[in-house]
Structure formats: structure tokens, C-alpha cells
Amino acid sequence: MAKTILGIDEAGRGPVIGSLFIAGTMFDEKDVKKLKELDVKDSKLVPHKKRLVLDVEIQKIAKVKVIEITPKEIDDAVDGDNELNLNWLEAEKTIEIINELKPDTAIIDCPSVNTEKYEEYIRERLKVKVNLIVENKADENYIECAAASIIAKVARENQVEELKKKYGDIGPGYPSNSTTQQFLKENYNKHPEIFRKSWSTYKKVVINKKQKNLGEF
């Protein structure tokens, strides 16, 4: 019986607008060579048009699970009263993917520098027996993770396009982007559901607006 290998990676960790997406792509061992034939690489190294093509091709040969983590969920983890933070929130979703897909091996692109603690956290909560590989930059070193990074990235990009249709030009959603900065300044209090209010970028805009309003009195 062919062994199964699951790659897990995320996209959209840094934006102030929109969701974070975590993807799991699971392959039969014999199908991994097809990824090499497709020239699958970490999504950051692949142009947008090719990502769209690879997204379709990967889904033909993989079992895929994508989880969307909304701005509210992120805010609850980062600013909430619980003991979660963004790394542990990602870990919880990673556990959900592994428990559902039940691979023989799971390769995880770890968001924490403390890979041992992250692995321990996941292992203690798994309902299935799995060989775990937990590494920083796994999306660069393992093609199964690179495939997951492409699926997650395309999911994130698709959401950004939907948000643009609904709300106007939000830019890519990253705090460093001037279009995103302008949209945030003009709309921070109009569309609360799309902003990550726990981000310092958002908080600074709110503080500046309050100070400006006080100055007008």
C-alpha cells in the first residue's frame, strides 16, 4: 500500500486586511514525482499565472484541505483573553488538517523558531499516529509543502480579488503597501469585518484619528 505524505503551509500571515489561509496537500508517495515534473516550488518563487495553473494541477493529484482563518479569529487569538497567539492558532488548524486527512507523514512549515515546542504541541493533540517533520522554511525544502504553499496562496489571492470587487481597491492587504495604507485610513471604521484590528498598523490609524478628532475641538 502506497504511503501518504502531507504538506502543510499558510499564506496571508502578515496582511492587515483579509484572512489567513492554511492548506494541506496530501499525496501518494508515487505521485510526488509528478510535482517535480510540474516544477512545483514555494509559491513565493512562482509567478501568479503559473500559480493558477499549478493550483489546478496539484488538486488533480492531491487530497486538499484549506482552512480560512478570519480576521476576527486572528484578533481573538492575538488580543483575546485566551492563551492562544497566532502561532498556536496555526497549530490548532494544522492539527485539524492532519486529523482529517490521516497521512502517514506530515511535513509542516513551522511559523515558530522553536520547532521542537511547536512539534510537541501538535503531537500531543493528534488523534492519529503520524510521522511528523516540523521545520522552518519547509516550503523551500520539501516539494509537498511547496504544493501546499501554492494552494494557500491562490486561496488568499482569490479572496483579495473578491474583497476588491466588494469594497474597492484594497491593494494586496499588506501594511507596507501604499494603496492598502490609504484604504485603511479611509475605511477602518466602515468595514470592521475585513480588518485585523489586533495589528499595530490598524491600531495606529485608530489612535491617529482619535487624536486628530480631539485636536479639532
Question: Cell numbers at residue 74, please?
Answer: 486572528
How far is it, in rounded angstroms, from Cα 182 to Cα 152?
A: 26
How does pLDDT run across 188-204, given as a tens digit for each residue?
Answer: 999 999 999 999 999 99
CB crowding 20-43: b at 16 or more within 10 Å, else e: bbbbbbbbbeeebebbeebebbbb
How far is it, in rounded angstroms, from Cα 42 to Cα 29?
A: 19
Domain ranges of the chain: 4-167
pLDDT confidence tier of residue 162, bands split at 50, 70 and 90: very high
Topology given in CATH for the domain delimited by 4-167: Nucleotidyltransferase; domain 5 (3.30.420)
**What average pLDDT does the segment 177-186 reach?**
96
How does pLDDT run across 96-149, given as a tens digit for each residue?
Answer: 999 999 999 999 999 999 999 999 999 999 999 999 999 999 999 999 999 999
The pLDDT of residue 213 is: 61
pTM for the model? 0.93
